[in-house]
Amino acid sequence: MSENKPLSEQRCCWGYGEEPLIHCLYQETGANMKESMPSALAFILLFLNISLLNGQSPPGKPEIYKCRSPDKETFTCWWNPGTDGGLPTNYSLTYSKEGEKTTHECPDYETSGPNSCFFSKQYTSIWKIYVITVIATNQMGSSASDPLYVDVTYIVEPEPPRNLTLEVKQLKDKKTYLWIKWSPPTITDVKTGWFTMEYEIRLKSEEADEWEVHFTGQQTHFKVFDLYPGQKYIVQTRCKPDHGYWSRWGQENSIEIPNVPGPKIKGFDTHLLEKGKSEELLTALGCQDFPPTSDSEDLLVEFLEVDDNEDVQLMPSHSKEYPGQGVKPTHLDPDNDSGHGSYDSHSLLSEKCEEPQVYPPAFHIPEILEKPENPEANIPPTQDARSSTPYFHADVSKWSTWPLLPSQHMTRSPYHSIADVCKLAGGPVDTLASFLDKAGKNVLKFSKTLETEEEKVAEQEKKKSFHSETKQNTSWPLLQKNAPIVYAKPPDYVEIHKVNKDGVLSLFPKQKENDQVEKPGVPETSKEYTKVSGVMDDNILVLVPDSRAENTALFAESAKKVPPSLEQNQSAKDLASFAATSNNCRLQLGRLDYLDPTCFTHSFH
Amino acid sequence: MQAHLNQPCSWMLQLLLVSNLLLWEYVVSLPLCLEIEGSNELTIEELFDDAIGMAQYTSNLTTQISEEFDENFAKSLGYKARNSSTCHTASLLTPENNEQIQQTQLDDLLKGMISISRAWYHPLEKLVHEVAALNGASETMLLKVKEVEEKNQELLKKIKEILVRVHPGAEENVYPAWMGLAEVRSANEDTRHFALSNIFRCLHSDTDKVATYLEIVKCRVIHNNNC
Could you state, in order of their start, the residue ranges of all structural domains in chain A? 63-154, 162-257
**String of b and e for A393-408 (b: at least 16 CB within 10 Å)?**
bbbbbbbbbbbbbbbe
Contacts of A100 in chain B (CB under 8 A): 83
Query: Bigger pLDDT: B19 or B209?
Result: B209
The domain B41-80+88-222 is placed in CATH, from the list 1.10.510.10, 1.20.1250.10, 1.10.10.60, 3.40.50.11710, at 1.20.1250.10
Angle at A493 between CA A490 and CA A495, to 5 degrees: 155
Put simply, the answer to whether A243 touches B201 (Cβ < 8 Å) is: no
Q: What is the pLDDT of residue A245?
A: 93
Question: Is the sign of the CA dihedral B172, B174, B176, B181 positive or negative?
Answer: positive
Q: Which of A590, A575, A605 is nearest to A445 (CA)?
A: A575
Strand partners, A221: A181
pLDDT of A58-81, one tens digit each?
888 999 999 999 989 999 999 999
Could you state, in order of their start, the residue ranges of all structural domains in chain B? 41-80+88-222
Q: What angle do the packed helices B139-166 and B106-133 form, to 10 degrees?
A: 160
Contacts of B80 in chain A (CB under 8 A): 129, 131, 149
Question: Is the sign of the CA dihedral A466, A468, A470, A476 positive or negative?
Answer: negative
Residue B225 to chain A, least CA–CA distance (Å): 5
Put simply, the answer to whether A121 touches B99 (Cβ < 8 Å) is: yes
Q: How far is Cα A443 from Cα A580, in angstroms, rounded to an integer?
A: 4
Out of B96, B209, B227, closest to residue A193 by CB: B227
CB A291 within 8 A of CB A360: no
CA atoms within 13 A on the CB side of B97: 16
pTM over 0.80: no
CB A93 within 8 A of CB A132: yes
Q: Which of A162, A146, A96, A157 is nearest to A123 (CA)?
A: A96
Judged by a CB distance cut-off of 8 A, whether residue A94 touches chain B is no
Q: How far is Cα A512 from Cα A530, in angstroms, rounded to an integer?
A: 19
The mean pLDDT of B95-121, rounded to a whole number, is: 93
In chain B, which residue's Cα lies nearest the Cα of A242? B56
Fold for the domain defined by A63-154:
Immunoglobulin-like (2.60.40)
Burial label for B78, CB within 10 Å (0-12, 13-18, 19+), is: exposed
Identity of the residue numbered A193: G
Q: What is the pLDDT of residue A272?
A: 61
| Architecture of the domain defined by A162-257 | Sandwich (2.60)
Angle at A139 between CA A78 and CA A89, to 5 degrees: 20
- Sheet bearing A116-119, strands edge to edge: A63-68, A75-80, A116-119
Judged by a CB distance cut-off of 8 A, whether residue A98 touches chain B is yes
Q: Which residues, in sequence order, are CB contacts of A133 under 8 Å at separation 6+?
A: A64, A93, A94, A95, A144, A145, A146, A147, A148
Q: How far is Cα B45 from Cα B217, in angstroms, rounded to an integer?
A: 11
Strand partners, A232: A256
The mean pLDDT of B165-185, rounded to a whole number, is: 88
CB A268 within 8 A of CB A285: yes
Identity of the residue numbered A62: P
Distances (CA, A) of A165 to A118, A216, A493, B208: 34, 15, 65, 34
CB A309 within 8 A of CB A558: no
Q: From the CA atom positions of chain A, what is the Rg in Å?
A: 44
Contacts of A194 in chain B (CB under 8 A): 98, 101, 212, 215-216
Q: How far is Cα A99 from Cα B201, in angstroms, rounded to an integer?
A: 12
- What is residue B53's three-state secondary structure? helix
CB count within 10 Å of CB A515 equals 7
Burial label for A239, CB within 10 Å (0-12, 13-18, 19+), is: buried
Q: What is the pLDDT of residue B4?
A: 53
Q: How far is Cα A40 from Cα B147, in angstroms, rounded to an integer?
A: 65
Q: Which of A188, A171, A259 is nearest to A223 (CA)?
A: A171
Residues of chain A with pLDDT under 50: 1-30, 296-297, 300, 302, 310-491, 512-527, 548-592, 594-595, 600-605
Question: Is the sign of the CA dihedral A387, A388, A394, A399 positive or negative?
Answer: positive
CB A189 within 8 A of CB B98: yes
Judged by a CB distance cut-off of 8 A, whether residue A124 touches chain B is yes
CB B149 within 8 A of CB B104: no
In chain B, which residue's Cα lies nearest the Cα of A131? B81
Instruction: Give the H/E segment covering residue A77.
Output: strand A75-80
Q: Which of A177, A166, A151 is nearest to A229 (CA)?
A: A177
Contacts of B96 in chain A (CB under 8 A): 125-128
CB A471 within 8 A of CB A360: no
Q: What is the pLDDT of residue A17?
A: 47
Out of B86, B209, B215, closest to residue A127 by CB: B209
DSSP state for residue A75 in the 8-state scheme: E
Q: How far is Cα A480 from Cα A585, in angstroms, rounded to an integer?
A: 12
CB A268 within 8 A of CB A178: no
Report ipTM for this prediction: 0.76
DSSP state for residue A311 in the 8-state scheme: -
Q: What is the pLDDT of residue A281?
A: 56
Judged by a CB distance cut-off of 8 A, whether residue B64 touches chain A is no
Residue A144 to chain B, least CA–CA distance (Å): 15
- What is residue B185's three-state secondary structure? coil
Distance of CA A472 to the CA centre of its chain: 24
Q: How far is Cα A504 from Cα B10, in angstroms, rounded to an integer?
A: 81
Instruction: Give the H/E segment covering residue A222.
Output: strand A221-225
CB count within 10 Å of CB A555 equals 28
Put simply, the answer to whether B205 touches A127 (Cβ < 8 Å) is: yes
Q: What is the pLDDT of residue B157?
A: 94
Identity of the residue numbered A15: G
Cα-based torsion angle of the residue sequence B48, B50, B52, B57 in order, rounded to the nearest 10 degrees: -170
| Phi, psi (rounded to 5 degrees) for A303 | -115, -5
Contacts of A189 in chain B (CB under 8 A): 98
Put simply, the answer to whether A127 touches B96 (Cβ < 8 Å) is: yes
| Same fold across A63-154 and A162-257 | yes
| Phi, psi (rounded to 5 degrees) for A536 | -110, 135
- Best residue of B89, B94, B97 to probe chain A, by most A CBs closer than 10 Å: B97
The mean pLDDT of B118-141, rounded to a whole number, is: 93
Q: How far is Cα A167 from Cα A573, in angstroms, rounded to an integer?
A: 60
DSSP state for residue A313 in the 8-state scheme: B
